[in-house]
Structure 1
Amino acid sequence: MKFLYATTIDYPSTRANRIQVLHMAAAFTALLGKDFLFGMRSTRRPLPHGLDAYYVGEHAHSYTYAWDYLKYARTMQVSDVLCREERMLFFIILLNALWFRLPLRFWYEIHHLVFVKTWWSRYMLRRVSGIISLTNAMKQELVSTGYPAEKILVASDAVDVSEFSGTKDVVGLKAELGIPEDKHVIVYTGSIDEPWKGVGVLYEASKLLDDSYQIVVVGGKEHYVEYFKKEYPERANFLMVGQKPHESIPSYIALADVVVLPNSGKQAISAISTSPMKLFEYMASGVPIVASDLPSIREVLNPDNAFLVEADNPQALAEGIESVMKQREVASARAAQAQRDVQAYTWDNRARSILSFVGKILK
């Protein structure tokens, strides 16, 4: 088996999906060695984890990326193609059927259900050997459309727990951000441009918390931060520090007395499809978690390892945050349980699970 992971990512990037792809490529490389091939668009510096890559270059359309990857697959005698980009995978499958006719097997890592009912997505799904779904809830949706359950693997996202070991300079970072030592610090990490991320709900919750609380939002490109500030008037207890390099995220999380995952339940991508990397980073940090009580989140979190609150409800979110500070021993016990639970969610384990699934399907 020669396994190609076909992507169009660039490096470096602060986007979570890019970081996920690089971690998975490193895990596959460790397991498959030279039988694993990794493709990406471009890089402006040496890749992390000692990775090598085939650079597909800049293209204007998904079908031209697909054509380039098929030429590479033919040259390298690839047997299996894994892809998480639905349009490109559709064209890889279509162009292979029409022109290249290579003996390839296709594996689709699905991250949302936005396109699942389109004609081209149905064409693609009928021709993949198997699907890797981020959540069981999304798997059940796929099964309801007629896709065989035995051809779907549920593989949540993961974390490199080693990134959260060691001492962080919390005092120095607090001083840099101007946060007094006596504040209860609440941290959110991640993008702010999608309403389903729930940052607006977190802002509304900030109005319900007293002056002893300081919310810190880490994430969002500059123009998104500026847009957010136009929509939501600045508040002293709601600090937005913008996008930061991913390697600095453990230090920002270490600032926190509480970390929050305020996902909305109004969109399917949040309620059933998402498996946020920040969730696993929060668990690895040992900081108490307050999260929306949604099916997607419930697949990993529960009342033993987190504080779950009603989604889209600022009052419930504020009360959840206050509960952590009022129940320190309970909160510490749940955070410790989250740290134990997250040991199962490593990139290596995820890669092993996918390769085991591939092996079972091929028997």
Structure 2
Amino acid sequence: MIKLAYIDPYAVPDIRVASLQILQNVDAFARHDMQVFVVTPPSHTTVESLLGRSVSEGVVFSPLNDPRGKWYFPFNTQKIFFLMVRRWLKRNPVDAIYTRNLKMARFLLSQKLGIPVIFESHEIFAQSFKESHDLSQAKNQRKYQILLENEHFVYQNAAAIVVLTSFLEEDIRRHYNVDTPCIVSPDGVDSVAANEALKTVSQLPSIPVSIFYLGSLHPWKGIPTAISAMRHVTGAKLTIAGGNAEQITTLSALAQQEGVAAKIDFLGYVNPRQRFHEIARHDICILPLTKTSIASRYTSPLKLFEYMAMGKAIVIADLPSIREVVDESSVFFVESENSEELGSVLQRVVDDRDEAQKRANAALELAKTFTWDHRAQQISRIIHHLLRQN
């Protein structure tokens, strides 16, 4: 049985989206001939509170003491944790290391541990930074150059790279000129939790029709477009779940400005354990992503697969990253950042329930191929291959 160390400088389990993805990944890895050691700072959250169940027996949580924030260590540096990871690896032999944290990967690869390091990439950080910062400022230019150097080092020296879309692989190879083995493996869905929710929650149509967004409220998610789109929709209300108080305040002000405040409810934070039940309560689910690199080329939205697994009508931005997963037979596409078209398509879905149900059924069937277990099988094959070569 392969011994895999999944290492991250942030606690797992935790309510962060990245932590939830890691938790579901390691759970699936452990079901596919691996013993997985989760090496992170201590967690103050239980697995059961997030998943509604325990993880596989092959998952071993190995928390390392984290001095950050303590009175005797008033610094936020991750270097101490990195050194503790190195010591843990010397005391606990493993066959391979897996991480999705760039700084962690850079450190591990620089240590020449003689252990294959697999890096899971979710974006080109330098590209995302360039799109969201003013590079005429010297401080930002320095950060950008550091990101370029770190990414090149990791992509050049990793034993393998796992990416969410083929476009991300294409951009990594073009930007950094590397020939490192790469596997394209989209995110997945917790089919166990989804199936349980389908059994227990009534899915009778709402009056008015209920439109739903669940996820973070980062700018690249396109929520302002969805809010403006409600000007063109009648007979429906939009519920937005997620985000912090500051983000909700800003978006509430936009809803007032657009004259649609009465059509929009902000639900705030939803515990991951309840996410499928929340999805089940609504009729139409949306992902109004923007044209940024992370949305158009790199993302593999967890929420898309969760919407699909709950058999929902889905309205989503028409972007290359999304087209890799679905087509018009299973979702309704709209032009990204076009609020008028989004409103028009939402109205069509509200009015044509037969077509909405037809595509929802197709999405539900397609979701069966996008599970964490399917993803674990893909990645485990790569790890087995790497270890046979060494």
In the superposition, the TM-score normalised over structure 1's length comes to 0.89
1:63/1:91 contact within 8 Å kept: no
2:285/2:314 contact within 8 Å kept: yes
* Correspondence 1:111 to 2:122: yes
Evaluate the alpha carbon distance shift between residue 12 and residue 236 of structure 1 in structure 2; reply closer, same or farther with a 3 A threshold.
Answer: farther
Give 1:112 shift.
0.7
The match for 2:182 among 152, 176, 192 is: 152
Partner of 1:120: 150
Partner of 2:230: 206
Paired AA for residue 61 in structure 2: A
Give 1:9 shift.
3.1
Equivalent residues in 2 for 1:236-247, closer than 5 Å: 236-247=262-273
Partner of 2:373: 348
Partner of 1:196: 220
State the alpha-carbon separation in 2 of the partners of residues 322 and 46 from structure 1.
41
3-state SS, counterpart of residue 226 of structure 1: helix
* Correspondence 1:168 to 2:194: no
The match for 1:217 among 240, 262, 273 is: 240
3-state SS, counterpart of residue 312 of structure 2: coil
* Correspondence 1:64 to 2:118: no
Give 1:89 shift.
1.1
Equivalent residues in 2 for 1:126-141, closer than 5 Å: 126-141=156-171
Give 1:11 shift.
5.0
Give 1:153 shift.
0.3
Partner of 2:289: 263
1:134/1:274 contact within 8 Å kept: yes
The match for 1:185 among 207, 210, 213 is: 210
Paired AA for residue 316 in structure 2: A
* Correspondence 1:91 to 2:107: yes
Give 1:231 shift.
4.3
Equivalent residues in 2 for 1:301-316, closer than 5 Å: 301-316=326-341
Partner of 2:29: 28
2:12/2:23 contact within 8 Å kept: no
3-state SS, counterpart of residue 67 of structure 1: helix
Paired AA for residue 107 in structure 1: I
Question: 1:324-357 CA distances to partner (integer Å, 9 max, x unpaired)?
Answer: 2233222212111111111111111111110102
3-state SS, counterpart of residue 32 of structure 2: helix
RMSD of aligned Cα (Å): 2.0
Evaluate the alpha carbon distance shift between residue 337 and residue 277 of structure 1 in structure 2; reply closer, same or farther with a 3 A threshold.
Answer: same
Paired AA for residue 41 in structure 1: P
Partner of 1:177: none
Question: 1:230-265 CA distances to partner (integer Å, 9 max, x unpaired)?
Answer: 344261101111011011111221122211010011
Paired AA for residue 158 in structure 1: G
* Correspondence 1:81 to 2:97: yes
Paired AA for residue 22 in structure 1: L
Paired AA for residue 82 in structure 2: A
* Correspondence 1:229 to 2:255: no
Name whichever of 353-362 and 268-277 sits farther off.
353-362
Name whichever of 64-73 and 294-303 sits farther off.
64-73
Name whichever of 24-33 and 79-88 sits farther off.
24-33
State the alpha-carbon separation in 1 of the partners of residues 43 and 306 from structure 2.
25
Evaluate the alpha carbon distance shift between residue 12 and residue 151 of structure 1 in structure 2; reply closer, same or farther with a 3 A threshold.
Answer: closer
Give 1:45 shift.
4.1
1:222/1:243 contact within 8 Å kept: no
The match for 1:54 among 59, 62, 81 is: 62
3-state SS, counterpart of residue 216 of structure 1: strand
State the alpha-carbon separation in 1 of the partners of residues 298 and 320 from structure 2.
9
1:2/1:36 contact within 8 Å kept: yes
Partner of 2:279: 253
Paired AA for residue 206 in structure 1: M
State the alpha-carbon separation in 2 of the partners of residues 314 and 46 from structure 1.
40
Partner of 1:280: 305
Unpaired runs of 5+ in structure 2?
A: 49-53, 69-75, 128-146
Count matched residues: 345
Partner of 2:51: none
Evaluate the alpha carbon distance shift between residue 215 and residue 327 of structure 1 in structure 2; reply closer, same or farther with a 3 A threshold.
Answer: same
Evaluate the alpha carbon distance shift between residue 42 and residue 251 of structure 1 in structure 2; reply closer, same or farther with a 3 A threshold.
Answer: same
Give 1:275 shift.
0.8
Name whichever of 129-138 and 39-48 sits farther off.
39-48
